[in-house]
Amino acid sequence: MPHTTPSLLIFAGSTRQQSFNRKLAHATAAIARDAGATVTLLELSEFDIPLYNADLEAQGTPANVIRLKEILWQHPAWVICSPEYNGSYTALLKNTIDWASSPVKGNPDWQDGGKSFRGKVVGMLSASPGALGGLRSQSHLAPLLINAECWLAPKAFALGSAGSAFDDSGALIQQAHRDRVRAVVDQVLWASSRLHGDAAAGQ
């Protein structure tokens, strides 16, 4: 990991209290902080964001969407923990991306819809009770992020049998799993530091 690391944003595409992907996001944040990274752990439940509707948007972009745009923009490096629903990412995650990538007419800061996404380095994680660990959600999320002009880290990790993967404190039990998560975090930070340099580290 570079000596000066970009700030890392970590969030899960779920608001369910016992979500395995929320657990994975928390475990990833702890691993990244132990590695010396500056981490923001984002909870989507803290944002009151309605289902995207262009007619609703025409009445004014919700304040929580602007706040979300700002947080995404401020972090050059992200890790997304993506649950798998029906073989794809969640409606919550798609709705979050749809709102955050939508331009705000008349707002000089946010009239560029791609501002919050363009050039971000993103690592993908997922967790599932099944053997594939939510891998199919990653396969659908990847083109969505590429379309938003994000850079995807080649390393990713899908945590299978997630029901038995965490201890009572929420940490990953197996060292092999912790190593896989750390590898994704390291690659995201490494790539972001080279794409964005010291300017990204200072955001």
For residue 97, is it within any domain?
yes
Is residue 89 in a domain? yes
Would the CA dihedral through 96, 98, 101, 105 be positive or negative? Answer: negative
Q: How far apart are CA 75 and CA 202, in angstroms?
A: 10
Range of the domain at 71: 8-201
Q: Which tokens belong to 115?
A: 């501002």
Give the chain's domain count: 1
- Domain-embedded: residue 1: no
Residue 111 lies in a domain: yes
Please state the pTM of the whole predicted model.
0.94
User: Over its length of 203 residues, how does the chain's per-residue pLDDT go in tens digits?
Assistant: 444 667 999 999 999 999 999 999 999 999 999 999 999 999 999 999 999 999 999 999 999 999 999 999 999 999 999 999 999 999 999 999 999 999 999 999 999 999 999 999 999 999 999 999 999 999 999 999 999 999 999 999 999 999 999 999 999 999 999 999 999 999 999 999 999 875 444 34
In a domain, residue 3? The reply is no
Tell me, yes or no, whether 155 lies in a domain: yes
What is the per-residue pLDDT for 196? 86
CATH of the domain at 152: 3.40.50.360
Task: Give residue 199's pLDDT.
Answer: 47
Residue 2 lies in a domain: no
